[in-house]
Amino acid sequence: MKTSTIVIFIIVLFCVLYNKKELFTNLSSIVLSEYDMYQIKNAIDIVVNNEYLKATKIIGIDYLKIIIDTFNKNLNIIDLEKQRELFESDNFIKLMFNDDKLNLSENFKKSLFVELSEAHLFNRNINMVPLRLYSSNKININNIKDNLQNIQLKKISKFFIFYLLKYYDNSKPKHEKNNKILRFENSLPSIKELNSRIKQSNLFFD
């Protein structure tokens, strides 16, 4: 009995010294704290801001303005399918889609109007949509995970990262205050809401 007690003590001490809390944690029921979200948002910002800056340079300010102006000019039409038809048949949009230098993916072309509509509906910055779509296959998920210190958080899924990117806005200045990074929209679901979704689904952490 004495020997087993000593062994248990040594294991516990080892885990404390090396911060191996995950050995005693049920990974299927991760509960995020405000500080956890700060870490996640910061890790995303470090990687994604650079990709968005590259995307802005590659796509070009003129094309980005054309996307937004073309989308906005048809908002008075109630029928979404008609809006989409007018958007995708616009000469400048077609010119952009067929620009060999841009080499836009099929996913970008098919998703652009839908993603713009969603961002507009939920009052998010629609200027971020083309940057997110263009960068989607260029963002290195492992680089984001490498910026996370907590071993549990490193299990964050690609699904969760891209879900959060819907609320990422690199036009905002980086300003850390009270563990918040203001490059994310205020409409980002609260910790309570996120934890509720995480509890109900295994899509958020691998």
Write out pLDDT tens, residues 141-191. 999 999 998 999 999 999 999 999 999 999 988 766 555 567 999 899 999
- Residue 18: in which H helix or E strand, if any? none
Bridge partners of 181, per DSSP, are 176
Write the single-letter amino acid at 200.
Q
Instruction: Give the percent of the chain with pLDDT over 70.
Output: 83
Average pLDDT of the segment spanning 41-63: 95
Would you say residue 54 has pLDDT above 90? Answer: yes
Rounded to whole angstroms, how far apart are CA atoms 109 and 115?
A: 11
Average pLDDT of the segment spanning 45-62: 96
In the predicted model, what is the mean pLDDT of the chain?
87
Would you say residue 21 has pLDDT above 60? Answer: no
Rounded to whole angstroms, how far apart are CA atoms 126 and 46?
A: 21
Residue 64 CB partners (closer than 8 Å, separation 6+): 56, 127, 130, 131
Rounded to whole angstroms, how far apart are CA atoms 145 and 166?
A: 18
Would you say residue 39 has pLDDT above 80? Answer: yes
Residue-level pLDDT at 25: 42
Average pLDDT of the segment spanning 96-122: 96
